[in-house]
Structure formats: structure tokens, C-alpha cells
């Protein structure tokens, strides 16, 4: 089972991945302000949280990974290039087992240097690497537009076209997409070569995220004052 949850302030999606038969679950990219919501949902569904998966060190919200670890004993996962507070660093191809659900890490740097996507049968959780009809920016946190292009076209776009894309954010009311849709319809990537993509990304001139100065250091400590 996959359940999609939303934080209105940061437009962040958190995902619950659950093996209902085994009574265990993982959360992808939980938000600190939504800890009580997420904990209540786990309790209502009779689920034990065993894993918290981070797609990258976020700049627009503070993670709930540390708080959930304290409350539930869940193991925290992410890239070893990201937050030093995580329990387990995942390399490309590593698998996190949640009951009978195998969650495979895909290294997708570019938005940040520590980007990971998570593949389950039939779906991929792409963080900020691939959004519905868009993609993450690549102008801070060691981002690299060329690397982002390679991650999307060389890793994500090689998945089956029917694979559901669950993005880390949406700002226009979309909830999900598919790999096939994004290959055909994503205006930043469809029919655009690497050089043209890099040129496009260099012209975006986006303002910094509102929480950049506070969120990044907080998230390097898993959203708590203790790095664990």
C-alpha cells in the first residue's frame, strides 16, 4: 500500500509505504510539523514504522526523521553524501526490506549531490529529481544540471513507462504521473538534449528557498538537535 500525504506550507509530499499483512511501514521524506499526523495514521492503520527514507537533504522544510526515530525506533536511511545523522547510508542498488516490500535505492544526484530515488514494484519516489512536468533546481547544495539530466534520462527514464512517478513536491495541484508521461510531456526534459537542458536550467533565476539557512543544517542533524 502507498499513501500520499501533503504539507501545505512547503508543498512537500510524504509517502507511507506499508506491508499491511506484516503490519510494518516506511515513510519517505516526513516533515517535522506533520509528526503527529503521521504517527496518528500509523496507529490507526495498526502499523509499526521500521524505516524512514530521505531522498536528499532538504532546503525547504525540516525533516521529521530524527523525531520519528526517537519515537518509534525506526531506522533512518539516506545517501552517505547527505546527512551524517542517518543510521544507514544507501548506495545505488541497495535494498531496504519493509516486510515483503523491497525498496531499491537509485542514485539520482543533480538537484543535490546526495539525491536518491526509491523504487518499489510499479512505482518510483523521485524526491526533487523528477517532478510532474518539471524537475528540481540545480543551483545550490552541490547541484549540477548536467548530472541532473543524466540522472533523469539515464536512470529514471529507463524504467518502464507504466511506472508511477511519486514526486517530492508539487506546486500546481498534481499528485503523480508516470515515467511514460514525463518522457513525452515534461517541458524541461522532453525532446531536449543535455546541453539545451543545462542552458535552460542556467536561466531560471529562482529565489532561494525561504528556509534554506535553517533547514539544511537542521536536516543534516535529522531535524533534531542531536545528530545521533
Q: Are 52 and 25 in contact (CB under 8 A)?
A: no
Determine whether 111 is an active site residue: yes
Determine whether 228 is an active site residue: no
Which residue in 61, 114, 144, 170 is the catalytic one?
61
Which residue in 58, 114, 144, 170 is the catalytic one?
58
Which residue in 7, 29, 38, 111 is the catalytic one?
111
Determine whether 58 is an active site residue: yes
Which residue in 38, 56, 114, 170 is the catalytic one?
56
Determine whether 170 is an active site residue: no
Which residue in 29, 114, 128, 170 is the catalytic one?
128
Determine whether 87 is an active site residue: no
Determine whether 169 is an active site residue: yes
What residues contact residue 74 under an 8 Å CB cut-off, 6+ apart?
A: 27, 49, 50, 51, 52, 68
Neighbours of 214 (CB within 10 A): 11
Q: Are 136 and 59 in contact (CB under 8 A)?
A: no
Which residue in 7, 60, 114, 170 is the catalytic one?
60
Which cell is 122 given?
510499479
Q: Are 162 and 179 in contact (CB under 8 A)?
A: yes
Q: What amino acid positions are annotated as catalytic residues?
A: 56, 58, 60-61, 111, 128, 169
Amino acid at each position: 500500500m502507498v499513501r500520499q500525504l501533503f504539507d501545505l506550507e512547503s508543498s512537500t509530499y510524504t509517502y507511507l509505504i506499508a506491508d499491511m499483512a506484516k503490519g510494518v511501514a516506511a515513510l519517505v521524506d516526513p516533515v517535522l510539523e506533520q509528526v503527529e499526523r503521521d504517527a496518528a495514521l500509523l496507529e490507526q492503520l495498526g502499523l509499526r514504522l521500521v524505516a524512514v527514507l530521505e531522498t536528499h537533504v532538504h532546503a525547504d522544510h525540516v525533516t521529521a526523521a530524527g523525531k520519528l526515530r526517537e519515537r518509534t525506533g525506526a531506522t533512518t536511511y539516506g545517501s552517505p553524501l547527505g546527512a551524517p545523522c542517518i543510521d544507514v547510508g544507501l548506495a545505488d542498488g541497495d535494498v531496504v526490506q519493509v516486510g515483503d516490500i523491497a525498496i531499491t535505492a537509485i542514485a539520482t544526484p543533480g538537484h543535490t549531490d546526495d539525491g536518491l530515488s526509491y523504487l518499489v514494484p510499479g512505482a518510483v519516489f523521485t524526491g526533487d529529481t523528477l517532478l510532474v512536468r518539471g524537475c528540481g533546481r540545480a543551483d545550490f547544495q552541490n547541484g549540477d544540471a548536467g548530472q541532473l539530466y543524466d540522472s533523469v534520462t539515464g536512470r529514471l527514464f529507463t524504467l518502464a513507462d507504466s511506472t508511477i512517478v511519486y514526486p517530492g513536491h508539487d506546486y500546481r495541484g498534481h499528485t503523480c504521473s508516470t515515467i511514460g508521461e514525463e518522457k513525452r510531456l515534461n517541458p524541461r526534459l522532453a525532446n531536449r538534449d543535455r546541453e539545451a537542458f543545462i542552458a535552460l536550467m542556467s536561466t531560471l533565476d529562482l529565489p532561494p528557498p525561504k528556509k534554506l539557512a535553517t533547514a539544511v543544517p537542521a536536516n543534516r542533524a535529522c531535524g533534531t538537535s542531536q545528530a545521533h
